[in-house]
C-alpha cells in the first residue's frame, strides 16, 4: 500500500490540521514527519476548537493510529499539556498514539539557547517561536542529541546532565539578557518525561514497513510550510527541518517510490509569521482586512500574521519541489467582499521579468507583477457543494489550476470540518 503525503506550500499556517482531520477517515495511520511544537494545528468541530502542536491531527478519530515520527522533535512539557487537553475530551491516546524511539527531545536548555541566540541577533532575528527547535536539530545533526529511545536506558540522566551543562556554557557565551531558573524548568521537564514514558515507544520505520505490507493506508502529515524548508525556503528565515516532500522519507523511513498522492495545501492569499522576505505583503487596508477576517494570529505564539496577495511564483516553486498531485485551497471565504483580487504571476528581478523563485527575494531585488481578477460578494461559509460557488470564485480557481497545472480538489470555506467543498 502506498503512502500519501500532505504538506503546506507557503510559509505555514495553511490549515493542515483541519484537512488532516477531514481526510483522516480515509486512512488507518496518520504519521507526522518533521518539526515540533513550533507548529500549531487548529481543528474545529462540535463547537470546540482544539490546537495540537506535536500530536498528529488524526487523534480525534477513534481507531486511527497516530504516529510521531523520527523526524519530529518533542518537548515533553508541551507534549504533556497536549495530552492533558486530550484527556478532557476522553481521547484514548494510550492506544492510538505511538512515538518513534528515534525522535529527538527538546530540553529546557534548548529553549533557553533559542532565546539567547535570537536576542543576540538583534534586528536580524529569525522571529523563531522560541520552542527550542533550531538548537535541538543542531544537536541532532551535531550527534549530541537525546532521543526518545534513550529514556529506556538507565544512564540517560547522565547524558542529559552533560548536554545541559554544555548548553549552560553556550548560553553564557551569548551574553544575552535572559532570566531563568533552570532547576524549576528541569523539575517540570522530568515530571513531563515520566508522563511521556507511559506512552508506547516503537521502531517506527519497521512499524510503517509492516503496516504497508499489511495493506494499511498511511497519511504523512507535515508541519510548517515549504517556504520554511531548511534547504528550499527563504534561508536563514526558515525552520530547521525539511518541510518538503523529501522530509517525509527521512522523517519516517518511507522509501521515495512508496509515496503516491502529494496533497499540497495553500491559502487563497498568503501569510507569514516571523521575519523574512515576503514579496506580496500588503501594508494597507486590504492586508488588514485579510488579517481581521481570516483571524490571522499564530496558533502557537499568538503573533499577528503578515498578509498579502497570492504569490504564484512561490506556489509554482513549492508545487515543483514537492511533486504535488492534488491541491487544496483554504480560506476562500476570507476573500469575499474584495471588489478586485490580485495574483502575483511573475517577479521583476534586478530589471528582468522572471517566473521562477530566485536565490534572493528581498524587497530590494524583487517586485511582484500582478494580474487582476474580479472578486465575489457572496458569503461562502454556508456552502457545501461546488455548484453553489460564485462564478468569480470558479474563475479564480480555474486560473490557478491552469497556472499550476494541478487540480484543486478541495476548497475550504471556514474552520469547521463541515465547511469543506469537494470538487
Which of 4, 75 has the CB closer to ligand IMP?
75
Map the footprint of ligand IMP across residues 239-268, applying CB under 6 A: 239
Among 53, 140, 267, 342, the active-site one is: 140
Q: Has 147 been labeled as part of a binding site?
A: no
Catalytic choice (4, 13, 114, 139): 13
**Phi first, then psi: what are they for 181, rounded to 5°?**
-120, 95
Contact status: 397 vs ligand IMP (CB under 6 A):
no
DSSP per residue, 383-422: --SGGGS-HHHHHHHHHHHHHHTS-EEEEE-SSBTTSEEE
For residue 76, give the C-alpha cell: 515533553
Residue 133 interacts with ligand IMP (CB under 6 A)? yes
Q: How far is CA 412 from CA 15, 148, 338, 420, in A?
A: 9, 36, 18, 5
224 binds ligand IMP (CB under 6 A): yes
According to DSSP, the β-strands at 3-8 and 73-74 are: unpaired
CB atoms within 10 A of CB 194: 11
Catalytic residue among 21, 41, 80, 102: 41
Q: Which listed residue (6, 7, 9, 13) binds ligand IMP by CB under 6 A? A: 13
Q: Which residue is nearest to ligand IMP (CB)?
A: 274
Query: Which of 134, 135, 253, 332: binder of ligand IMP (CB under 6 A)?
Result: 134
H-state helical runs in 61-127: 76-88, 93-96, 108-121
Pairing of strands 310-311, 306-308: unpaired
CA angle at 340 for the pair 337 and 342, rounded to the nearest 5°: 120
- Does residue 39 touch ligand IMP according to CB under 6 A? yes
Q: What is the dihedral angle through the alpha carbons of 117, 118, 124, 128, rounded to the nearest 10 degrees?
A: 130
Number of Cβ within 10 Å of residue 379's Cβ equals 12
DSSP state at residue 388: G
Of 64, 66, 109, 128, the one binding ligand IMP by CB under 6 A: 128
Of 321 and 392, which has the nearer Cβ to ligand IMP?
A: 321
Ligand-binding site membership of 63 (annotated): no
Rounded to whole angstroms, the Cα distance separating 149 from 412 reads 39
Note if 140 is an active site residue: yes
Among 22, 112, 273, 307, binds ligand IMP (CB under 6 A): 273
Answer yes or no: is 414 a known binding residue.
yes
Q: How far apart are CA 333 and CA 268, in angstroms?
A: 9
The reply to whether 12 sits near ligand IMP by the rule CB under 6 A is: yes
Q: Which is nearer to ligand IMP, 100 or 129 (CB)?
A: 129
Query: Applying CB under 6 A, does 226 fall inside the site for ligand IMP?
Result: no
CA 218 to CA 252: how far, in whole Å?
11
Binds ligand IMP (CB under 6 A): choice among 32, 80, 111, 131: 131
Contact region with ligand IMP (CB under 6 A), list: 127-135, 197-205, 344-352, 359-367: 127-135
41 a catalytic residue: yes
User: CB of 140 within 8 A of CB of 153?
Assistant: no
Residue (126 or 314) nearer to ligand IMP, CB: 126
Q: How far is the CB of 277 from ligand IMP (least distance, A)?
A: 11
Residue 206: CB minimum distance to ligand IMP, A: 29
Closer by beta carbon to ligand IMP, 66 or else 224: 224
| 13 assigned binding-site residue | yes
Alpha-carbon span 172 to 51, nearest angstrom: 34
Cell readout for 368 is 511582484
Give the number of other Cβ atoms within 10 Å of residue 285's Cβ: 8
Residue 113 is a binding residue for ligand IMP (CB under 6 A): no
In the complex with ligand IMP, the residue whose CB is nearer, 208 or 287, is 287
Cis amide prior to 236 (ω within 30 degrees): yes
DSSP state string for 329-348:
EE-GGGGTT-SEEEEEEEEE
- 15 in a known ligand binding site: yes
Smaller CB separation from ligand IMP, 311 or 341: 311
With CA atoms as reference, report the closest residue to 38 among 114, 99, 149.
114
Residues annotated in a binding site for IMP: 13-16, 38-41, 129, 143, 224, 239, 303
Residues annotated in a binding site for GTP: 12-18, 40-42, 305, 331-333, 412-414
Residues annotated in a binding site for substrate: 299-305
Residues annotated in a binding site: 12-18, 38-42, 129, 143, 224, 239, 299-305, 331-333, 412-414
State the catalytic residues. 13, 41, 140
Residues near ligand IMP, by CB under 6 A: 11-13, 38-40, 126-129, 131, 133-134, 223-224, 228, 237, 239, 273-274
Amino acid at each position: 500500500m502506498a503512502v500519501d503525503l500532505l504538506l503546506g506550500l507557503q510559509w505555514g499556517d495553511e490549515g493542515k490540521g483541519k484537512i488532516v482531520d477531514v481526510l483522516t477517515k480515509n486512512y488507518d495511520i496518520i504519521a507526522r514527519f518533521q518539526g515540533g511544537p513550533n507548529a500549531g494545528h487548529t481543528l474545529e468541530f462540535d463547537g470546540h476548537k482544539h490546537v495540537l502542536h506535536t500530536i498528529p491531527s488524526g487523534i480525534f478519530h477513534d481507531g486511527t493510529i497516530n504516529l510521531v515520527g523520527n523526524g519530529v522533535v518533542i518537548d515533553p512539557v508541551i507534549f504533556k499539556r497536549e495530552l492533558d487537553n486530550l484527556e478532557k475530551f476522553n481521547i484514548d491516546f494510550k492506544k492510538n498514539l505511538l512515538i518513534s524511539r528515534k525522535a529527538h527531545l527538546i530540553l529546557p536548555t534548548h529553549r533557553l539557547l533559542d532565546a539567547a541566540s535570537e536576542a543576540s541577533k538583534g534586528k536580524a532575528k529569525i522571529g523563531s517561536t522560541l520552542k527550542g527547535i533550531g538548537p535541538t536539530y543542531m544537536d541532532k545533526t551535531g550527534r549530541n542529541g537525546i532521543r526518545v529511545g534513550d529514556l529506556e536506558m538507565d544512564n540517560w540522566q547522565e547524558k542529559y546532565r552533560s548536554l545541559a551543562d554544555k548548553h549552560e556554557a553556550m548560553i553564557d557565551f551569548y551574553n544575552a539578557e535572559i532570566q531563568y531558573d533552570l532547576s524549576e524548568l528541569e523539575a517540570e521537564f522530568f515530571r513531563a518525561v515520566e508522563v511521556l514514558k507511559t506512552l508506547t515507544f516503537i521502531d517506527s520505520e519497521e512499524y510503517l514497513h509492516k503496516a504497508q505490507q499489511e495493506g494499511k493506508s498511511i497519511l504523512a502529515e507535515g508541519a510548517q510550510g515549504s517556504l520554511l524548508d531548511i534547504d528550499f525556503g527563504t534561508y536563514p528565515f526558515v525552520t530547521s527541518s525539511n518541510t518538503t516532500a523529501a522530509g517525509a522519507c527521512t522523517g519516517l523511513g518511507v522509501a521515495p517510490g512508496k509515496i503516491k498522492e502529494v496533497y499540497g495545501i495553500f491559502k487563497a492569499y498568503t501569510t507569514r509569521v516571523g521575519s523574512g522576505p515576503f514579496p506580496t505583503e500588503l501594508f494597507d487596508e486590504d492586508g488588514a482586512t485579510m488579517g481581521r477576517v481570516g483571524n490571522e494570529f499564530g496558533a502557537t505564539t499568538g503573533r499577528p500574521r503578515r498578509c498579502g496577495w497570492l504569490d504564484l511564483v512561490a506556489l509554482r516553486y513549492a508545487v515543483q519541489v514537492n511533486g504535488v498531485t492534488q491541491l487544496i485551497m483554504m480560506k476562500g471565504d476570507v476573500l469575499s467582499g474584495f471588489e478586485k483580487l490580485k495574483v502575483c504571476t511573475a517577479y521583476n528581478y534586478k530589471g528582468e521579468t522572471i517566473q521562477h523563485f530566485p536565490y534572493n527575494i528581498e524587497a530590494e531585488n524583487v517586485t511582484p507583477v500582478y494580474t487582476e481578477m474580479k472578486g465575489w460578494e457572496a458569503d461562502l461559509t454556508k456552502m457545501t457543494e461546488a455548484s453553489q460557488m460564485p462564478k468569480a470564485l470558479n474563475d479564480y480557481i480555474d486560473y490557478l489550476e491552469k497556472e499550476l497545472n494541478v487540480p484543486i480538489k478541495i476548497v475550504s470555506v471556514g474552520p469547521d470540518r463541515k465547511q469543506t467543498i469537494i470538487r
